[in-house]
Amino acid sequence: MGNVTIIKPSLKHAQGIKDLIDFYSQRRIVLPRSIADIYEKIRIFWVAVDEEGTVVGCVGLQFCWNDLAEIKSLAVREDYHGKGIGRTLVEYCLAEAREFGARKVFALTYVSDFFKNLGFVSISKDDLPHKVWSECINCQHFPNCDEEAVEMILS
């Protein structure tokens, strides 16, 4: 990962998270988030920062049920791709999910092969609790979701 560090963000990182999410949401790869939403949910995020403290990667881990957590808003700046940052961000989420007692972690994604490479398996979207879909109304793809659901059972 070179000189990149994974940290829990503070409020000063919110705009960097927003810029990253904007880049990919404009390409319809991740769900958009307002800056207000990022401030409100700052505690769900992990960020990858370079030596200057600039956000070059982000991910959110949101708990959604008694044993279930979702990986959201995973994004790595293009010039930092292929350095293991995406993998490490997901690993931080998995470790945090375990700490909180979650048994399963899932993601809705267009890069299912990336997740499968990390040990996730495909599942049917019908297996996810209805609560998961509450944010879908804000998605450009709603109601024709073509993302794939992937899941990891935590040991």
Which residues contribute to the site for ligand COA (CB under 6 A)?
A: 24, 29-30, 74-76, 81-87, 107, 109-111, 113-114, 117
Q: Which is nearer to ligand COA, 103 or 116 (CB)?
A: 116
Give the separation between CA 3 and CA 106, rounded to whole angstroms: 29
Beta carbon of residue 121, minimum distance to ligand COA (angstroms, whole number): 15
- Helix, strand, coil percentages (3-state) for the chain, rounded to 5, are 40, 30, 35
Beta carbon of residue 30, minimum distance to ligand COA (angstroms, whole number): 5
Q: Which is nearer to ligand COA, 75 or 139 (CB)?
A: 75
Q: What is the DSSP string of 110-149?
A: S-HHHHHHTT-EEE-GGGS-GGGGGGGGGSTTTTS--PEE
Q: Which is nearer to ligand COA, 38 or 76 (CB)?
A: 76
